[in-house]
């Protein structure tokens, strides 16, 4: 029986993570954008003696895609003014997409990937 020391355990863990990342990259499938929009949402606030204060707003991008017979909706907050927003995903266009647990991954033509938190999953009804 072979005993693993800490270095071997670390190398084994890194290899498994690398293989998992490579596998996730292959799971992109063609999806159709069914809805995309950008809106403002209250970022945070606090109460002082029952009075709300410090309400700041943040931009949120929301995209819905049809993927594997389901409508998947994901949201993300663009990090900068030049970051990818929902406006970059036009309704009716095809986009490579993948699902990784509770995240929707959308691949842009330049190869970069937008990671959105899945906020809704619905079955698409077939007529």
pLDDT, tens only, 93-122 = 999 999 999 999 999 999 999 999 999 999
Domain presence at residue 19: no
pTM: 0.71
Does residue 14 lie within any of the structural domains?
no
Residue 21 lies in a domain: no
Query: Is 37 part of any domain?
Result: yes
Q: Does 79 reside within a domain?
A: yes
**By residue range, what is the domain housing residue 64?**
28-123
When pLDDT is averaged across residues 15-25 and rounded to a whole number, the result is 50
β-pair partners for 48: 51
Q: Is residue 104 part of a domain?
A: yes
- Is there a domain that residue 69 lies in? yes
> How many domains does the structure of the chain reveal?
1
Note the pLDDT tens digit of each residue in 24-82. 445 899 999 999 999 988 777 677 777 776 677 889 999 999 999 999 999 999 988 88
Residue 50 maps to a domain = yes
């Amino acid at each position: 029986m072979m005993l693993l020391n800490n270095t071997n355990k670390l190398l084994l863990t890194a290899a498994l993570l690398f293989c998992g990342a490579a596998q996730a990259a292959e799971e992109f499938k063609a999806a159709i954008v069914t809805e995309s929009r950008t809106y403002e949402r209250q970022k945070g606030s606090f109460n002082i003696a029952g009075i709300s204060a410090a309400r700041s707003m943040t931009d949120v991008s929301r995209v819905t895609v049809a993927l594997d017979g389901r409508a998947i909706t994901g949201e993300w907050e663009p990090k900068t003014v030049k970051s990818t927003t929902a406006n970059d995903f036009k309704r009716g266009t095809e986009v490579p997409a993948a699902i990784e647990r509770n995240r929707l991954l959308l691949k842009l033509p330049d190869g970069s990937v937008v990671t959105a938190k899945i906020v809704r999953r619905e079955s698409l009804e077939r007529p």
